[in-house]
Amino acid sequence: MSPLPFIVISLAAAAASLVAGRRAGPATVVGLAGLLLTTLAAGLISPGQSVRLGSSDLLVGSAYARQFLVLAGATGLITCLIGLATTWPAGLPAAMLAGLGGIGLALSVTDPLVAVVVLLATAVAISLAALSAPITIADVRAVSRSARLIVLAGALAVASLAWVAASLGGIGADPGAFGLADLAIVVATAVRFGTIPFHRSVAGLTNSAPGPAVPLVLVWGPAALAVVAVGVTNGAVYPLLVPSGIGQLVIVILATATLVLGAVGAWLQDDLEHVVGYSIIQDAGFVLLGLAAAGADGGAASRSWLLILVVVKTAFAAWATVVAVRFRTARLPELGGWARRSPLLGIALAGIALATIGAPGLLAWQVRWSLVDGVTGGLPALILVLGGLASLLYYGRIALVGLGRQSLLVAAATGDRPVSPARTGPTGQTIRSAWEANRAPIASGLVLVLVVLSLLVAAGGLGGPEAARAVGPLAAPSAGPLDISGPSFVPPQASPSG
Amino acid sequence: MSPFQLGAALVALAGALVALSARDIRLALGGLLVAMAVAALVADPIPSPLAVAVRLVAAGLGAELVLIAVRDRPADASGSPIGPLSPLLAGAAAFVVGYATSGVGSPAAGPPAATAAGFGLAALAIGPLVYGRDVVRVGLGMALLVTAIELVRAGLAGTPTAVEQLATAGLSLAVLGLTAVLASAALAANHSLAIEGEGQRTTLFEAHPVAAGAPPSTPRGQRRPAAAPRPDGAAHQLTLEERLRRSASEPDDSAG
């Protein structure tokens, strides 16, 4: 099946969810059903199936887009269910569906310029998911700042892609222009992820956005842009075309600062939502390394890491949401003994840490080493590896707090043990009362499902590595002006005559 | 360069200048609409009428959304804090730079006027985007930057395809729709479009009004007695409108 049905279903379901938004019940049902249908439709996308417009391919299905969309759809559905059991942001399913539709379109089009414009429009639209009632002026300010950065990053990406397209369409282009243009695309990706030093808006967004909306706003959209960036640069341009490797050096410095300072930032934060935000920033450092890595291996590793990032960070944000709702606080100093009170959430945090960092034999571990090896060696590589492992600092701090003495708030919270409802009324009422009485264990169980999914992806299951190695529509031979991956491509050199 | 393209580029620049300088929000949105509509024509070859119409409709719809969001509210765009002359000069300078550097080291596939207009619009948009203090002004900056970058793209890589024109129309609508929602939210939360710096107070009265003159002075070294609880609870936190409504509904004690 081509990607078209997926896109139509997701956008139609988003519209239906918005229309039904005034009534909570129908909006919830439509949103959840839409997410389920969208996930199923994503799973039916066939690599190579295309939709033609005139004489050229408009949309082309790929194994990687299918994998990305299935994982995003499934984690989105579980996140919405967690939201139902904890804090339900009314417009979340609609925003997720619109986001999935936009990302699906962008990952399927053959023209990278269209892909970036679509992603830009999608990111601007779904940034509204960060607003939830009651809306304060600080929320408006945070979304406005985030939207400004989105537009700036998009403008940078469009301009650089147009610049490269013009060069490849003609002759006598300046080779340095290629390197600068690719550097601009990478910087645009860095701005979208909010890596160091573009991280200011992330803190504001994590403050204002409801927990379940955080991955949609901070991970999915930027990750899709990174996929497009990997597709158009293919990691082959920097060593060839950037004079003296300066571009690669700039990216590696950005990545190093992001890995180290992101971990320190997450470690210093007392608020769990901020910890999640900074952890996303930190892991985006590996995305930058992937964009700087040379060759097809670098591209595959980068795409694998993006899959892991999408699932693991969604799980971490969901975990933080459940902890904040169960214990009525998101501040670490007030969360003493949380893991002893809720062993399910403790196991979930351990799983999230394992899926993020990996272990020898797991895909996440290999990908991290591969990305570091791809760009540098020696002492800089050691710094990068240690920077990546620095995430143990904040995971360890959260775990230590959880194993300590129980605070009053934690002691007052319900445990993991399910409560059986009193069978006094009809079946529907019994189910409803069971749901109401067991929200905490249900939410914790759903987080565990997300963690299991994360571990599967981090271990290389579900066909992730194969999908990451497959050629996407942007790197296909028929990709058009930006096809730089084929053997026939010869980088334009400055002619002797100038 | 064709006179038509040059004229269209200058009209787009003028529209952007009006959008950022006008204090009347309708005039500002009109200027934005002109800039966005005419920008679609600065390309070689000129896009199909359908593509231009789609972009025009998207821009018009987006502007209408913003207008609806601020309708019936005492909200006007703040305009340029430094007047229209400085932005005009900055835009003109960027226009010349864009024209002179068309292609930027690469063979440009589009007209230099598009790059020039794109640079001009970007120079105008950066100010409100970075320093804008109210939602509508920031939104105008974002919409103009999107238009600017599409112009630069048309100047570098040629006329966008029909699909890209559709995507650009969606982007314009998304940016202006976001602006409308944020403006509505800011007005509801703060009675003002301002999002940076000191916004308008939500409480119209001072928090602790001196109702019965200054309290009697306390002799030095002697503790003042604790204030008695207010009989009317949190009445001192009420807005002027709420106070007036309450006083109108309560019986007049002095009459008896």
The tens digit of pLDDT for each residue in A415-433 reads: 888 887 776 677 778 888 8
- The CA distances from residue A217 to A126, A263, A264, B48, in Å, are 7, 20, 22, 35
Q: How far is B107 from chain A (nearest CA, A)?
A: 6
- Distance between CA atoms of residues A377 and B108, nearest Å: 39
Residue A52: per-residue pLDDT = 76
How large is the average pLDDT for residues B129-155?
91
Query: ipTM of the assembly?
Result: 0.85
Residue A396 has pLDDT above 80, yes or no: yes
Nearest residue, CB atoms, A140 vs list B106, B153, B182: B182
| Contact in structure between B179 and B139 (CB atoms under 8 Å) | yes
How large is the average pLDDT for residues A255-272?
92
* Range in A344-353, B62-71, B193-202 the model is least confident about: B193-202
Residues of A in contact with B150 (CB under 8 A): 158
**B244 contacts: CB under 8 Å, gap ≥ 6:** none
Token pair 């996440």: residue: A364
Q: Provide the pLDDT confidence category of residue B240 given band limits of 50, 70 and 90.
A: low
CB contact under 8 A, B156 and A163: yes
* Range in A162-176, A222-236, A338-352 the model is least confident about: A162-176
Interface of A with B in 246-275 (CB under 8 A): none
- Residue with the larger pLDDT of the pair B252 and B65: B65
Q: How far is B30 from chain A (nearest CA, A)?
A: 22
- Distance between CA atoms of residues B15 and B35, nearest Å: 5
Tell me whether A184 touches chain B (CB under 8 Å): no
Pick from A213, A97, A201, A219: which is nearest to A151 by CA?
A201
**Residue of chain B with shortest Cα separation from A134:** B189
Nearest residue, CB atoms, B178 vs list A118, A127, A177: A127
- Residue with the larger pLDDT of the pair A301 and B143: B143
Pick from A72, A85, A32: which is nearest to A445 by CA?
A85
Residues of A in contact with B203 (CB under 8 A): none
**A179 contacts: CB under 8 Å, gap ≥ 6:** A237, A238, A241, A242, A243, A246, A247
Interface of A with B in 89-118 (CB under 8 A): 109, 111, 113-114, 117-118
- The CA distances from residue A98 to A231, B165, B187, B233, in Å, are 23, 20, 26, 47
CB contact under 8 A, B167 and A114: yes
Q: What is the CA radius of gyration of chain B?
A: 26
Pick from B70, B72, B68, B88: which is nearest to B80 by CA?
B88
Residue A54 has pLDDT above 80, yes or no: no
The reported pTM is: 0.84
Best residue of B101, B106, B184 to probe chain A, by most A CBs closer than 10 Å: B106
- Distance between CA atoms of residues A457 and A464, nearest Å: 7
Residue A382 has pLDDT above 70, yes or no: yes
Q: What is the 3-state secondary structure (H, E, C) of A63-119?
A: HHHHHHHHHHHHHHHHHHHHHHHCCCCCCHHHHHHHHHHHHHHHHHECCHHHHHHHH
CB pairs under 8 A between A and B: 141
- Distance between CA atoms of residues A121 and A40, nearest Å: 25
Token pair 């920033």: residue: A281
Q: How far is A14 from chain B (nearest CA, A)?
A: 15
CB contact under 8 A, B157 and A173: no
Token pair 């760009």: residue: A375
Strand partners, A248: none
Residue A347 has pLDDT above 70, yes or no: yes
A 10 A CB-CB count for A294 gives 17
Residue A167: per-residue pLDDT = 59
Pick from B126, B127, B123, B129: which is nearest to B98 by CA?
B123
Best residue of A116, A126, A158 to probe chain B, by most B CBs closer than 10 Å: A158
Residues of B in contact with A162 (CB under 8 A): 152-153, 156-157
Interface of A with B in 139-178 (CB under 8 A): 139-141, 143-144, 147-148, 151-152, 154-155, 158-159, 161-167, 169-174, 176-177
Q: How far is B64 from chain A (nearest CA, A)?
A: 17
Paired tokens of A40: 């199923």
CB contact under 8 A, A111 and B174: no
Residue A496: per-residue pLDDT = 37
CB contact under 8 A, B175 and A124: yes
Best residue of B119, B178, B190 to probe chain A, by most A CBs closer than 10 Å: B178
How large is the average pLDDT for residues A305-334?
92
Token pair 């990053």: residue: A153
Q: What is the 3-state secondary structure (H, E, C) of B122-161?
A: HHHHHHHHHHCCEHHHHHHHHHHHHHHHHHHHHHHHCCCC
Residue A291: per-residue pLDDT = 85
Residues of A in contact with B182 (CB under 8 A): 140, 143-144, 147
Distance of CA A342 to the CA centre of its chain: 27
Q: Provide the pLDDT confidence category of residue B193 given band limits of 50, 70 and 90.
A: confident
How large is the average pLDDT for residues B157-182?
92
